[in-house]
Amino acid sequence: MIEKERLKDLNDQPEREGEYVLYWVQQSQREAFNPALEAAIAHANRLELPVLVGFGLTDGYPEANARHYAFMLEGLLDVEQALSRRGIGFVVQHGSPDEVAINLARDAALVVCDRGYLRHQKKWCQHVASAAGRRVVQVECDVVVPVELASGKIETAARTLRPKIQRLRDDFLKPMRRTPVKVKIGSRKPPRSIDLSDAPALLGKLKIDHNIGPVRRFKGGAGEAHRRLDAFIEGPLEKYADARGEPAREQVSFLSAYLHFGQISPVEIALSVSKARAGNAHRAAYLEELVVRRELAMNFVEHQPRYDGYSCLPDWARKTLEAHRGDPRPHTYSEPQLAAGKTHDRYWNAAMCEMRVTGYMHNHMRMYWGKKILEWSPSPEKAFKTALTLNNRYFLCGRDSNSYANVAWCFGLHDRPWPERAIFGKVRSMTAGGLERKIDIDAYVKRVDELAEAEAGEA
pLDDT, one tens digit per residue, over 242-268 is: 999 999 998 999 999 999 999 999 999
Tens of pLDDT, residue by residue over 266-290, are 999 999 999 999 999 999 999 999 9
Residue 11: the pLDDT is: 98
Question: Would you say residue 195 has pLDDT above 90?
Answer: yes
168-180 pLDDT, tens digit per residue, is: 999 999 999 999 9
Which of 246, 280, 303 terminates a domain? The answer is 303
Side-chain half-sphere exposure of 248, counting CA atoms within 13 A: 16
Question: Of the residues 303, 337, 366, which one is the last residue of a structural domain?
Answer: 303
Pair 1, 89: CB distance under 8 Å = no
For residues 309-324, give the mean pLDDT: 98
**Residue among 414, 400, 427 at smallest CA distance from 292:** 414
Q: Tell which residue, 326, 261, 243, 262, has the closest CA to residue 253.
A: 243
**297 & 320 share domain:** no
Quick one: pLDDT at residue 189? Answer: 72
Q: Are residues 291 and 351 in the same domain?
A: no
Q: Is the pLDDT of residue 345 over 50?
A: yes
Neighbours of 440 (CB within 10 A): 15
The rounded distance, in Å, linking the Cα atoms of 425 and 419 is 8
Model pLDDT for residues 9-24, shown as the tens digit of each residue: 999 999 999 999 999 9
Query: Is 225 in a helix, a strand, or coil?
Result: helix
Question: Does residue 458 have a pLDDT over 60?
Answer: no
Q: Is 391 exposed, middle or buried (0-12, 13-18, 19+ CB in 10 A)?
A: buried
Residue 186 binned pLDDT confidence (cut-offs 50, 70, 90):
confident
In a domain, 187, yes or no: no
pLDDT digit string (tens) for 404-416? 999 999 999 999 9
The answer as to whether 241 is a domain residue is yes
Banded pLDDT at 29 (limits 50, 70, 90): very high
Same domain as 409, residue 298: no
Task: Judge whether residue 392 has pLDDT over 90.
Answer: yes
Is a pLDDT exceeding 80 seen at residue 349? yes
Q: Percent of the chain, pLDDT > 90?
A: 97
Reduced to 3 states (helix: H, G, I; strand: E, B; else coil), residue 380 is helix
The answer to whether residue 192 is domain-embedded is no
Integer Cα distance of 187 and 337 in angstroms: 56
Tell whether 188 is covered by a domain: no
The backbone torsions φ and ψ at residue 202, rounded to the nearest 5 degrees and listed phi first, read: -65, -40
Instruction: Choose one of 252, 276, 303: the last residue of a domain.
Output: 303
CATH code for position 159: 1.25.40.80
Query: Region 126-155: what's the mean pLDDT?
Result: 98
Same domain, 439 and 329: yes
Q: Is 182 inside a domain boundary? A: no
Average pLDDT over residues 45-69: 97
**How high does pLDDT run on average in the chain?**
97
Q: What angle do CA 137, 139, 142 make, to 5 degrees?
A: 155
Whether 376 and 350 map to the same domain: the answer is yes
The pLDDT, as a whole number, for residue 37 is: 98
Nearest to residue 30, comparing CAs of 363, 267, 185, 262? Answer: 262
Shared domain for 127 and 251, answered yes or no, is no
Nearest to 72 by CA among 221, 202, 228: 221
Please, what's the largest Cα pairwise distance for the chain? Answer: 71
Share of the chain above pLDDT 70, in %: 99
- DSSP assignment of 92-155 equals EEES-HHHHHHHHHTTEEEEEE----SHHHHHHHHHHHHHSSS-EEEE--SSSS-HHHH-SS--
d(CA 284, CA 301): 25
Tell me, what's the pLDDT at 459? 45
Question: Tell me, what's the pLDDT at 457?
Answer: 80
Task: Kindly state whether residue 203 falls inside one of the protein's structural domains.
Answer: no
**How many structural domains does the chain have?**
3
Domain residues for 416?
310-454
Measure the CA–CA gap between 228 and 216, rounded to whole angstroms.
15
Q: Is residue 190 part of a domain?
A: no
Q: What is the CATH number of the domain that holds 107?
A: 3.40.50.620
Q: Using the predicted structure, report yes or no on whether residue 318 has a pLDDT greater than 70.
A: yes
Q: Do 108 and 1 reside in the same domain of the chain?
A: yes
Number of residues that this document lists for the chain: 459
pLDDT at 199 over 80: yes
Q: What local confidence, expressed as pLDDT, does residue 190 receive?
A: 74
209 within domain boundaries? no
pLDDT for the residue 1: 80
Secondary structure tally for the chain: helices H, strands E = 21, 6
